[in-house]
C-alpha cells in the first residue's frame, strides 16, 4: 500500500525473484525477499515458522509455507 506514492520499482516481487541470484536471495513470504548473506540469527517462531534477524536489526518472519524450503536451503 503506497497511499499517494508510487512504488520505487515498478515490477512485481515475482518478477524480481526470478531475476535475483537464488544462491543469495530467498523469498521468505509474499511481501519480502531477503539476502541470505545478511542473516545474523534464526529463531523458532509461531506454529513452526521461523523468525530471522538481519544485520541492522531488521526482524523478518518466514511464512509457514516457506519455512520448509528455507530449512532445506540452509540445511537446518
Query: What pLDDT, on a 0 to 100 scale, did the predictor assign at position 2?
Result: 60
Residue 13's Cα: distance from chain center in Å? 11
Name the grid cell of 63: 511464512
Euclidean distance between CA atoms 15 and 12, whole angstroms:
5
Q: Can you tell me which residue has the cell 534464526?
A: 42
pTM of the model: 0.83
Q: Are 57 and 49 in contact (CB under 8 A)?
A: no
Which sequence spans correspond to the domains of the chain? 13-73
pLDDT digits (tens, 9 = 90+) for 38-66: 999 999 999 999 999 999 999 999 999 99
Amino acid at each position: 500500500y503506497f497511499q499517494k506514492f508510487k512504488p520505487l520499482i515498478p515490477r512485481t516481487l515475482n518478477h524480481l525473484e526470478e531475476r535475483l541470484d537464488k544462491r543469495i536471495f530467498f523469498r521468505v513470504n509474499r511481501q519480502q525477499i531477503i539476502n541470505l548473506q545478511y542473516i545474523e540469527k534464526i529463531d523458532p517462531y509461531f506454529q513452526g515458522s521461523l523468525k530471522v534477524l538481519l544485520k541492522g536489526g531488521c526482524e523478518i518472519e518466514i511464512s509457514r509455507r516457506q519455512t520448509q524450503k528455507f530449512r532445506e536451503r540452509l540445511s537446518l
